[in-house]
Amino acid sequence: MSHVINRRNFLKGASALTAASTLPISMIELAFADSSQNFSFAYISDAHIQHVKGKDFVRNWDRGLIRAVAETNLLTPKPDFVMFGGDLAQLGKKEELDHGAEILSGLSGSKLRCVMGEHDYYLDLGQYWEKLFGPQYYSFDHKGVHFVVLNSILTTDEWTFKRWPTAVQRMNEMAGLDNPNGSPFMVGDKQRAWLKNDLANISKETPIVVFSHSPLQKIYKGWNFWTDDAEQVQALLQPFKKVNVIYGHVHQIQYNQIGNISFNSVMATAWPWPYPSTYAQAEQYLPKLTVEMNRADPFFERDATGWQLINVATGNVDLHYSLSNNTSRTVAFNSKTGQPEDTSYQAPEKRIPPQSHF
């Protein structure tokens, strides 16, 4: 039986620096940090706010996002900013995006930035989302780290513009997890050209953090845990010394190292997906380093959902997962082995060398 941490007690413990050896690394480093360069940010993802009718929304998905916002507001010190990792809406509807934006507006004192998810995009191709949250891809610098936000859920013009009689049907086809009528995601030529240009004047020593919705690595095509031009994006990131890619979409904890690039996923606030290995109808590349997330207990509506606090003090990502109804977890970069590791659950003998390629 897992020990359930009450968030309020956890935060109290962290700020009082008690039982330091049991605290997640990210919180300890924040508490002891004396460098002005140290900072953290919070990451909330995959809320899937779903409109029913009138003012009714699916309560459970609302609750997940409301809880994440409330807990993020309790953090001391405050995260420098909060990322929302995509799939704010379920079917891209104005009502859903408005309602999601209203809940996110409850974040106090931390700047919000957003990543586009396929559930936000395929009704109007991101037009209303852009009005609320800004451009679909962009970059910014913060305390010596270069951050890049990509829209990784694009696909071919043929699929997007010619195949479906209505925008609603296009959205519905893309909303299914294992729908064979869906399309593999891609970043696309235009954004890759933009990325190349964006990175052109960045020193190779500068830590790079890339946010995408779908993984910029190929995990499982059957569920679109996949970006078709992932290798081409990775090639643009290879010259940099410290690169971290953080992605949503998979609703589960995954981490991986490919060459110089660390990959970390974030959890959903709506619901968890099982690992593809439990539904292995097709070839899949679930990273071998993953320590499986607990399977969701259906009697706890928030089980296996949560949000995450991310510390990039070292230029690599230490990612603390705050599970709503279960034991917190930390996946931190181990500079000795050169890969991310689960600091609590990953047995040393199970650590394997990083993959150089798929």
List of residues contacting Fe ion (CB under 5 A): 46, 87, 117-118, 249
Q: How far apart are CA 157 and CA 18, in angstroms?
A: 56
Quote the least distance from Cβ 342 to Fe ion, whole Å: 22
Q: Which amino acid is at 254?
A: Q
Q: How far is the CB of 30 from Fe ion (least distance, A)?
A: 28
The token duo for 255 is 């981490």
Beta-sheet strands, E only, within 32-117? 40-44, 51-53, 56-57, 81-84, 111-114
| Nearer Cβ to Fe ion (118/228) | 118
Asked if the bond preceding 276 is cis, omega within 30° of 0, the reply is no
Taking phi over 0 as left and psi of -120 to 50 as alpha, with beta for the rest, 125 belongs to left
What is the dihedral sign for C-alpha 239, 290, 316, 186?
positive
| Minimum distance, C-beta of residue 177 to Fe ion, in the bound complex (Å) | 9
Please identify, using beta-carbon distances, which residue of 199 and 319 lies nearer to Fe ion. Answer: 319
**Whole-number Å distance between alpha carbons of 88 and 61:** 10
Pick the closer one to Fe ion by CB: 215 or 340.
Answer: 215
Say how many C-beta atoms besides its own lie within 10 A of residue 23's C-beta: 19
User: In this structure, what token pair is assigned to residue 187?
Assistant: 């970043």
Structure tokens at 146: 């270069």
Nearer to Fe ion, 49 or 243 (CB): 49
Minimum CB–partner distance for residue 333 and Fe ion (Å): 25
Nearer to Fe ion, 46 or 228 (CB): 46
CB nearer to Fe ion: give 46 or 342: 46
**Are residues 110 and 42 in contact, defined by beta-carbon separation less than 8 angstroms?**
yes
User: Least distance (Å) from Fe ion to the CB of residue 156?
Assistant: 18
User: Is the distance from CB of 288 to CB of 352 less than 8 angstroms?
Assistant: yes
In the complex with Fe ion, the residue whose CB is nearer, 117 or 315, is 117
* Closest CB 93 distance from Fe ion, rounded Å: 15
The minimum distance between CB 85 and Fe ion, in angstroms, equals: 9
Instruction: Indicate the helix (H) or strand (E) that contains 262.
Output: strand 261-265
